Structure 1
Amino acid sequence: MSVTRTTIAMAAMVGLGVGAPAWAQTAELRALRQQNEILQQQDIARQSNLAALREITAAQSRYETQLTLRALDETRTTPKAPSLRPALPPTPPRGSSPDDMAAQAEQIDRMTDERLAQSNARLRAITPAR
């Protein structure tokens, strides 16, 4: 074999050695992408089914509500005569009367004045240090 043929053969072997793993990687990536697409389509179909079930449940609830309201409307009766509640007995006012409150306010004022006078007497009794 000549040097050229040997070089070409070596280049082909190197190309096959490098190209085969790259081709295998590409095939794996394609398979993975297809698998992900299938899973995504399944998820979309599942979500669509759940949405349809929610719509069906909501429609059933609306129907049951209409039936209940219709039954309540049919059983409703209008009163023959007005029905008034009996008047409650008057309750005595709660708390202190205005006179009691005025007396308490005067007592509080008197006690405050006494305490203020005691405090002023104590302050006057203090002699400054000499």
Structure 2
Amino acid sequence: MTLTIELTPEMESRLEAEAKRKGLETEEFAKIIIEQNLSPKEENRKNYMPEGFKPRYLGRVETRDFSGDDQWLRENRENYQGKYVATHGNRLIANGENLKEVIEKSRELGLPDSLLTYVEPLDTPPYVGGVW
């Protein structure tokens, strides 16, 4: 197959210089670059793993149901405006103005999968993102 590609003069000179540096013809070097950047063939997939890496199956990870946390937040957000809260199920685990302390309390209670969130004051304007 013959393929014609439009290159900018800068890109063409970079391609030629790199091919020359490697002691290759420009066309041959371009083929190598294209081949290396296409999806790998099955036999080349092993090159994507670090040497000595042995994959292992750790099992299926179950996630808990966060619907109770969501319900608790909807019902109690007015009482915790401007604070961080940790909830687990439909109960409050910890709250405060310091996130680190709330996380530590949650871990002390043996609940590392608590939902941690900041409850914004009700008068906070919505975040729309971007830089204006």
Q: TM-score, normalised by structure 1?
A: 0.16
Q: Which has the higher strand share?
A: 2
Determine which structure has the larger helix proportion and give its number: 1
Radius of gyration: which is bigger? 1
RCO comparison, higher one (Cα < 8 Å, 6+): 2
